[in-house]
Amino acid sequence: MINEIAADVWIFTETDDSLVPAGMPSLHCADIDERRRSNERWVSIASKYPLEQLSLTGDPTRSVAARIHPSNREPFIVFGTVLPWTSDRWRGMRGSHGFAEALATQQGDLRRLRALEPHSDFVWAGDFNQHLGVGARYWSKRNGELLVGALEELGLHILTADPDPVTGVAGERRSVDHLCVARADLWDRRSLAVWPVGPAPDRQLSDHYGVAVDTVASRS
């Protein structure tokens, strides 16, 4: 699927270094905690274009930030993330408390990075472990409200809610993997693609769907 989609930029979550396409420059979060193998990461960013890592001070093990330098548009920033799920532990905190604290910590880094280049496009993407939009919710209304508040404070627009692209291929399922951007006019929401198509992901590959979107420029 990675070869078939052939994206210019990838944000991999709960991943392995070997999944980065051969020859593609990549950046990774800090080493994952000791319960996993050394080549596993919470987040990696890869791009066929040059990229430079931007420093993070709040949550460097579950997030990574890069400035991408494409050949056909102005540079933009990508912030890859994994936020805690229901039974996850983040710095000793579980449940909604852990989610709220992790979100607030990453939001501080996002705020600082947005302030560096307020007029550049900015992409916040990854596994948020939280559904947004209408219908059944995974997993907390309160956490959804906190996430929406963070998006509003940061001036970001979510591409993966209302309509939810996963619902389009899987009925009642909802996306917890989101793409949020500063310049919605630069992204073609009509191009949102989800794989695999079907009622559930192929758990031999991943327990999540993949989501891809084109820029407007790439379709012109």
Q: Is the pLDDT of residue 36 over 70?
A: no
Q: How many domains does the chain have?
A: 1
Q: What are the C-alpha distances in Å from 61 to residues 136, 137, 207?
A: 30, 27, 21
Segment (H or E) for 166 = helix 165-170
Q: What are phi and psi of 218, to 5 degrees?
A: -70, -15
What is residue 108's predicted lDDT score, i.e. its pLDDT? 97
Task: Pick 34 or 119 by higher pLDDT.
Answer: 119
CATH of the domain at 12: 3.60.10.10
Question: Residue 170 belongs to what domain range?
Answer: 2-219
Q: Dihedral through CA 157, CA 158, CA 162, CA 163, nearest 10?
A: 120
- How far apart CA 70 and CA 127 sit, in angstroms, is 24
What are 44's two structure tokens? 């990696």
DSSP 84: -
- How far apart CA 64 and CA 23 sit, in angstroms, is 20
pLDDT-based confidence at residue 72 (cuts at 50, 70, 90): confident
- Residue-wise pLDDT tens digits, 89-128: 999 999 999 999 999 999 999 999 999 888 889 999 999 9
> Residue 70: is the preceding peptide bond cis (ω within 30°)?
no
- How far apart CA 84 and CA 99 sit, in angstroms, is 5
DSSP 204: T
> Residue 139: is the preceding peptide bond cis (ω within 30°)?
yes
Q: Are residues 28 and 60 in contact, defined by beta-carbon separation less than 8 angstroms?
A: no
3-state secondary structure at position 104: helix
Quick one: CA dihedral 161, 29, 96, 112, positive or negative? negative
Q: Is the pLDDT of residue 219 over 50?
A: no
What is residue 220's predicted lDDT score, i.e. its pLDDT? 34
- Residue-wise pLDDT tens digits, 147-193: 999 999 999 999 999 889 998 898 888 899 999 999 999 999 999 99
What are 13's two structure tokens? 């979550």
